[in-house]
Amino acid sequence: MESLNWTAVITDAYWPILVLFVAAILRKPISDVLRKRKLRLTLPNDVSFSIATDVAEKTLTNLFTEFYFTYNRLLKPSHKKLFETILLSETKLYVDELIPGFDRNNKEHIGALRALRGLGLIEPKHGGSWQNKSVIEITSFGKIFVEHLRMKEKSA
């Protein structure tokens, strides 16, 4: 039977034990530093500022929650279905492909596009008004909102 080399055992265990000991002592200061981290945000026109991560988390959660309630309150089920069709399209989608026989004077046709545009989810690719050959583009906000919706659905 071989004898146990205690020196090797202590040497091998030294670093993990030391790391655990230091982590236990510095747990509070480290968690305070991580909690007080700041995000630097840069907005158009070179406006930038810092915000604490916990404040940013609360703000973004409230913002998306309020928008989610507005989305559900203002959009009809047919508008939501139209938006889902746009999201599922793998190619650029023209208005007359999305709404066959599109007529700007039809309140249902134009109303659906305006409702989605009014919430900042979609827009005509080159701006302007909705026409038969307008390419529908999901806005960057629309893409972020969709990610939020999908995360919300997964957690439900």
Write the DSSP string, 103-147: -TT-HHHHHHHHHHHHTTSEEETT-SS--TTPEEEE-HHHHHHHH
Contact 118, 71 (CB under 8 A): no
> Domain holding 108: CATH number?
1.10.10.10
Q: Does any domain span residue 52?
A: yes
Please tell me whether residue 95 adopts helix, strand or coil conformation. helix
pLDDT at residue 4 in the model: 66
Cα atoms in the Cβ-side hemisphere of radius 13 Å centred on 50:
4
pLDDT at residue 107 in the model: 92
| Residues of the chain under the 70 pLDDT cut | 1-6, 8-11, 13-15, 18, 26, 30-36, 152-156
DSSP letter at 44 equals G
Q: Does any domain span residue 54?
A: yes
Quote the tokens at residue 18: 């030391």
Cα atoms in the Cβ-side hemisphere of radius 13 Å centred on 146:
17
Residues 116 and 147 both lie in one domain: yes
Residues 22 and 40 both lie in one domain: no
Contact 54, 35 (CB under 8 A): yes
Helix 107-118 × helix 77-88 angle, to 10°: 70
Residues 120 and 148 both lie in one domain: yes
Q: Domain end: 55, 73, 91, which one?
A: 73
Range of the domain at 21: 6-35
pLDDT at residue 3 in the model: 65
Q: Does any domain span residue 65?
A: yes
Residues 31 and 16 both lie in one domain: yes
pLDDT at residue 55 in the model: 83
Q: Does any domain span residue 1?
A: no
Looking at the DSSP bridge assignments, the partners of residue 49 are: 41
pLDDT at residue 10 in the model: 67
The number of domains in the chain is 3
pLDDT at residue 96 in the model: 93
Q: Does any domain span residue 149?
A: yes
Residues 87 and 126 both lie in one domain: yes
Residues 107 and 137 both lie in one domain: yes
